């Protein structure tokens, strides 16, 4: 009588050491998303809090949110351009010009707020279409086209404002974009909704990957990310409710980010953007209309610049000859790069617009509290930008080396 022993291969389980090692490799290759940036933000906040205890007060953090909204909105469009491996140097001038169009229509021409805002946004879209056509169809480098746009739209801003120079905004609809704050109960409801939606979308994404027989990240990563989002959401609402409440402008910014994040990750257009940014010639051979994608992306970028200019005007309650100037362009481009979007194209996320803008705004806000000069601020932000680009280049080199191995 013989017996047969069947060997059963054990199911792979969760190995903490293997997970830590894999996480380390992903960190080196720059594939951990915004984790490193969030840790950097925590370090920045702790440093400024130690130097000035007013930094982490609810009043200052609420002001910080209001300050980052305009830059973050402009940076959403910059992310799209960077994903193509291109650059747009005109977003600052476009934001100021479109804000001036809104102000002139509303204040000087008596046009209601909503049509004035729509006209400004449409003007931004038209500018982006012109610049996109110039670089996509006439093959002029984006650097040259948008550098010319920076100067031309600045001149148009001065022309639109005329001899007045400054236009003060008194319309409650326009001013309410950044001056509206929600009651405490609404703020907590928003936080709970964010947590539930994030957790549900994560589960749905895991279920889809499981049905498609695709690899899944360890469940501990999913639960950890939900826990982080829950802590951040509840803490943010608690702080904001301790001052004036959750501002409407924060929801506007998050709405833009979520919308474009879904467009990039869930639509054919989004896949085409990554394809063109990764290898334009390969995308063209695959049948993608590369020129149309570039025109559309630059139109969206200028549209978001117009929206950012409107939010900046709403916060300052005025539009003047310096609107969109100073460090607006630098911060709008530096934010996504610091957040993790690659300057080489094809890699990045819309969420880097938020995390990068938070880094930039936190540094500016903290140094303002310390009464440091603008020269110091520019030096610090320039150093942070250089460090981010250097890390991106090194991570890209590591990925290429790993790919050839």
Closest by alpha carbon to 100, among 114, 86, 116, 87? 116
**pLDDT tier for residue 134 given thresholds of 50, 70 and 90:** very high
81, 88 contact by CB (below 8 A): yes
- DSSP secondary structure code for residue 32 in this structure: S
**pLDDT tier for residue 327 given thresholds of 50, 70 and 90:** confident
Residue 34 pLDDT greater than 60, yes or no = yes
Closest by alpha carbon to 90, among 135, 147, 130, 144? 147
Element at 254 (helix H, strand E):
helix 248-266
Residue 378 pLDDT greater than 50, yes or no = yes
pLDDT at 220: 81
Distance CA(334)–CA(328), nearest Å, equals 10
Residue 77 pLDDT greater than 80, yes or no = yes
Distance CA(190)–CA(197), nearest Å, equals 10
Closest by alpha carbon to 387, among 375, 397, 379, 377? 379
Task: Tell me the per-residue pLDDT of 274-303, one tens digit each, with 9 for 90 and over.
Answer: 999 988 899 999 999 999 999 999 999 999
Greatest extent of the chain over all pairs of C-alpha atoms, in Å: 107
Residue 7 pLDDT greater than 50, yes or no = no
Spatial neighbors of 198 by CB under 8 A, at least 6 apart, are 225, 226, 229
pLDDT at 326: 78
CA-only gyration radius of the chain, Å: 23
Element at 168 (helix H, strand E):
strand 166-168
Fold classification of 37-180+247-391 (topology level) = ABC transporter involved in vitamin B12 uptake, BtuC (1.10.3470)
The residue extents of the domains of the chain are: 37-180+247-391
Is the model more confident about 10 or about 405?
405
179, 314 contact by CB (below 8 A): yes
pTM of the predicted structure, to 2 decimals: 0.87
Is the model more confident about 5 or about 154?
154
Element at 47 (helix H, strand E):
helix 35-51
pLDDT at 96: 95
45, two tokens: 């906040």
Q: Rounded mean pLDDT of 252-256?
A: 94
Distance CA(334)–CA(332), nearest Å, equals 6
CA distances from 252 to 65, 106, 212, 291 (A): 12, 21, 35, 30
Q: Rounded mean pLDDT of 98-102?
A: 96
In degrees rounded to 5, what are phi and psi of residue 324?
Answer: 80, 0
């Amino acid at each position: 009588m013989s017996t047969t022993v069947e060997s059963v291969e054990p199911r792979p389980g969760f190995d903490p050491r293997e997970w830590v090692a894999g996480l380390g490799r992903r960190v080196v290759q720059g594939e951990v998303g915004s984790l490193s940036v969030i840790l950097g933000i925590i370090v920045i906040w702790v440093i400024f809090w130690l130097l000035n205890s007013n930094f982490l007060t609810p009043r200052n953090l609420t002001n910080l949110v209001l300050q980052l909204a305009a830059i973050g909105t402009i940076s959403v469009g910059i992310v799209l351009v960077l994903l193509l491996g291109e650059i747009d140097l005109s977003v600052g001038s476009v934001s100021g010009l479109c804000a001036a169009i809104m102000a002139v229509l509303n204040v000087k021409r008596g046009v209601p707020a909503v049509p004035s805002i729509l006209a400004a946004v449409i003007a931004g879209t038209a500018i982006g279409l012109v610049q996109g056509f110039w670089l996509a169809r006439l093959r002029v480098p984006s650097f040259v086209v948008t550098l010319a746009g920076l100067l031309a739209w600045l001149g148009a801003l001065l022309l639109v404002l005329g001899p007045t120079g400054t236009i003060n905004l008194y319309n409650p609809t326009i001013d309410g974009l950044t001056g509206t704050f929600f009651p405490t109960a609404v703020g907590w409801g928003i936080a709970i909704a964010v947590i539930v939606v994030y957790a549900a979308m994560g589960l749905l994404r895991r279920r889809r990957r499981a049905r498609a027989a695709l690899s899944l990240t360890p469940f501990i990563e999913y639960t950890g990310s939900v826990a982080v989002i829950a802590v951040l959401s509840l803490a943010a609402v608690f702080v904001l409710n301790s001052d004036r409440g959750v501002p409407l402008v924060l929801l506007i910014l998050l709405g833009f980010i979520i919308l474009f994040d879904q467009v990039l990750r869930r639509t054919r257009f989004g896949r085409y953007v990554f394809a063109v940014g990764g290898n334009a010639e390969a995308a063209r051979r695959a049948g993608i209309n590369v020129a149309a994608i570039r025109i559309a992306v630059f139109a969206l970028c200028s549209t978001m610049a117009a929206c950012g200019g409107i939010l900046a005007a709403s916060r300052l309650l005025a539009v003047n000859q310096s609107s969109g100037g100073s460090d607006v362009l630098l911060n709008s481009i530096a934010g996504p790069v610091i957040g993790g979007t690659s300057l080489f194209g094809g890699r990045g996320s819309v969420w880097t617009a938020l995390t990068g803008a938070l880094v930039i705004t936190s540094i500016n806000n903290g140094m303002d509290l310390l009464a440091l000069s603008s020269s110091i601020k520019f030096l610090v932000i320039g150093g942070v930008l250089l460090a981010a680009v250097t890390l991106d280049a090194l991570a890209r080199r590591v990925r290429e080396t790993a790919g050839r191995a």
